[in-house]
Amino acid sequence: MIKDDFSTNGMHDYTILEDEMGDAHASTSLETPIRKGAFEQSDEEKMEAIEGHFSAIMDILGLDLKDDSLKGTPRRVAKMFVKEIFKGLNPENEPPITLFDNKFQYKQMLVEKGIKLHTFCEHHFLPIYGVAHVAYIAQGKVIGLSKLNRIVEYYSKRPQVQERLTVQIANHLKKVLKTEDVAVYIEAKHMCVQARGVEHEGCSTITSEYCGKFLTEKTRAEFLAAVA
């Protein structure tokens, strides 16, 4: 429910709504929200800016940046953000895809099971970790197996909502394979649930996207049996 309250300066105050969205892990769009001009800066320029901002955050928290253990942290965090855990934001890092003719005329589903998944919740910037299972039924072309893992990794390396991540992986597979017969199933644990808020450690979140033949009960059941 939208809180249409007025703050003392006459502006609408949507802070409560924003908190509710974060705690509900709600998403507002299928595409990752990226601002116009996001890639005009070089990676080095971004790291330099993030380093300065993170130094300020640490200072506000009361940490002594002169300490040997802490003085390199802002730079390490900046490099980690740009070059590692959020590198999937940059379309230049989209993995090249290798396709092959389906010379064996294999017409059954191909399943890549247990793909390691690490991403970050876009609401609290805390880790989400688990596994993804993907499958497709070839329509003339097959994909190199490692590329399935790379596609999962690419969309994971950005702030995410698990539902969006699931659909983005499925849509990318449909685009490159030129088939609707795709399935994606993700089971993951959210540190924003485990380490803050409700602090429940034992639960996990499951999302799935079934397209084409995987919408039929028989094919979907075969896929779910394969990844169980």
Distance of CA 46 to the CA centre of its chain: 21
Q: Which two tokens stand for residue 62?
A: 């009361």
Catalytic entry in 25, 112, 153, 162: 162
- Cα–Cα distance for residue pair 147/134, rounded to 1 Å: 11
- Cα–Cα distance for residue pair 187/133, rounded to 1 Å: 9
Q: Establish whether 203 is a catalytic residue.
A: no
Catalytic entry in 112, 121, 168, 209: 121
* Dihedral sign computed on CA atoms, order 143, 147, 149, 153: negative
- Cα–Cα distance for residue pair 29/184, rounded to 1 Å: 19
How many residues in total does the chain contain?
A: 228
Catalytic entry in 160, 192, 209, 211: 192
- Cα–Cα distance for residue pair 13/7, rounded to 1 Å: 6
Q: Establish whether 121 is a catalytic residue.
A: yes
Closest to 174 in 3D by CA, of 136, 208, 144, 225: 136
- Cα–Cα distance for residue pair 136/134, rounded to 1 Å: 7
Q: Which two tokens stand for residue 156?
A: 């994971």
- Cα–Cα distance for residue pair 44/25, rounded to 1 Å: 32
Catalytic entry in 25, 51, 112, 124: 124
Task: Count CB neighbours of 16 within 10 A.
Answer: 12
Catalytic entry in 25, 51, 112, 123: 123
- Cα–Cα distance for residue pair 163/202, rounded to 1 Å: 20
Q: Establish whether 190 is a catalytic residue.
A: yes
Question: What residues are labeled active site?
Answer: 121-124, 162, 190, 192
